[in-house]
C-alpha cells in the first residue's frame, strides 16, 4: 500500500486510479511554473532552483511517508518539521516567479501543507486509515469506482493551471472535491463513519487558508501540494 493513497484524501483516492493521470498533471504544473518564471522573474536560473528543491521535497516526502504507519512517532516528531522547512524553502523559490495577483500561492502552499501534516499526525488518523475496515473500504472504492469518478475528483483543480490561478475558484473546486469523495464513500462504504470523518478532516486541513480571514490575498496552492504528491508518490 503506497502512502500516496493516504496523502490524497486520507486514502480515498487510490494510486492505481491516479497513475494514468499523474504524467499530464506533472507536465501541466511544470509548464505553469516554467512559464511564470520566464515571464515574471528577472533571474534566469529561478526555474532551475525550483526544479532542484521540488525534487528534494518530493524525494524526502517519499522517504518520510514510507515510515507510516508503524513509524508514525518518528514521522511526526522528526520528519514533520523537516518537511515543513522544505515546503517553506520551495515556496520562497516560487514567489519571485509569480505576478502580483498570484503572490498568494506560496503562503497558501506552506499553510495548507503544514495543516495537512497536523492532520496526518492527529489522533486516530493513521490508525483508522490502515485498519481492517479501512482496507475493506479502500478495496470497495477501487472496485466500485464508476467511470473513474473517484480519480476525477481533483480534475478541476489541475485544470486551473491552464489560466489564471484565483483563490475563490480553487476553494470552490476543493469544496466540490470534498463532496465528490463523500459521494464515493457513500456508494462504496455506506454508513462507514470513520472514513467520512477522515474525508471531512482532510479537506478541513487543506482548505485552511480558504477559511482564514487573516490570509486574504495569500490563498491557493493545494494544487502544488497535490501535484507534488501525485507526481512523486504515484509513479
The residue ranges of every structural domain in the chain are: 4-233
pLDDT band at 71; cut points 50, 70, 90: very high
- The total of other beta-carbon atoms located within 10 Å of residue 111's CB is 21
Q: How long a stretch of residues is the chain?
A: 235
**Tens digit of pLDDT for each residue in 139-149?**
888 776 655 56
pLDDT mean over 163-168: 78
Provide the CB-side half-sphere exposure for 133 (13 A, CA): 11
pLDDT mean over 179-186: 86
The dihedrals phi and psi of 15, each to the nearest 5 degrees, come to -55, -40
| Residue 122: pLDDT over 50 | yes
Task: Determine if residue 191 is left, alpha or beta; phi over 0 gives left, psi from -120 to 50 gives alpha, anything else beta.
Answer: left
- For residues 209 and 112, the answer to whether their CB atoms sit within 8 Å is yes
| Residue 65: pLDDT over 60 | yes
The dihedrals phi and psi of 77, each to the nearest 5 degrees, come to -85, -40
Amino acid at each position: 500500500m503506497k502512502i500516496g493513497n493516504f496523502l490524497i484524501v486520507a486514502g480515498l483516492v487510490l494510486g492505481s486510479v491516479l497513475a494514468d493521470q499523474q504524467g499530464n498533471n506533472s507536465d501541466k504544473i511544470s509548464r505553469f511554473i516554467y512559464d511564470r518564471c520566464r515571464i515574471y522573474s528577472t533571474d534566469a536560473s529561478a526555474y532551475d532552483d525550483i526544479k532542484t528543491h521540488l525534487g528534494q521535497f518530493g524525494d524526502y516526502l517519499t522517504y518520510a511517508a514510507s515510515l507510516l504507519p508503524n513509524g508514525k512517532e518518528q514521522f511526526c516528531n522528526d520528519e514533520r518539521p523537516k518537511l515543513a522547512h522544505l515546503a517553506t524553502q520551495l515556496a520562497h523559490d516560487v514567489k519571485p516567479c509569480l505576478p502580483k495577483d498570484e503572490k498568494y500561492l506560496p503562503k497558501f502552499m506552506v499553510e495548507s501543507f503544514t495543516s495537512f501534516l497536523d492532520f496526518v499526525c492527529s489522533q486516530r488518523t493513521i490508525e483508522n486509515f490502515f485498519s481492517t475496515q479501512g482496507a475493506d473500504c479502500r478495496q470497495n472504492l477501487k472496485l466500485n469506482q464508476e467511470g473513474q469518478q473517484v480519480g476525477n475528483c481533483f480534475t478541476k483543480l489541475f485544470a486551473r493551471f491552464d489560466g489564471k490561478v484565483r483563490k475563490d475558484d480553487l476553494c470552490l473546486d476543493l469544496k466540490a472535491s470534498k463532496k465528490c469523495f463523500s459521494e464515493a464513500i457513500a456508494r462504496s462504504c455506506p454508513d462507514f463513519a470513520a472514513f467520512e470523518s477522515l474525508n471531512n478532516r482532510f479537506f478541513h486541513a487543506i482548505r485552511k487558508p480558504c477559511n482564514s480571514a487573516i490570509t486574504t490575498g495569500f490563498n491557493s496552492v493545494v494544487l502544488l501540494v497535490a501535484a507534488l504528491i501525485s507526481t512523486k508518490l504515484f509513479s
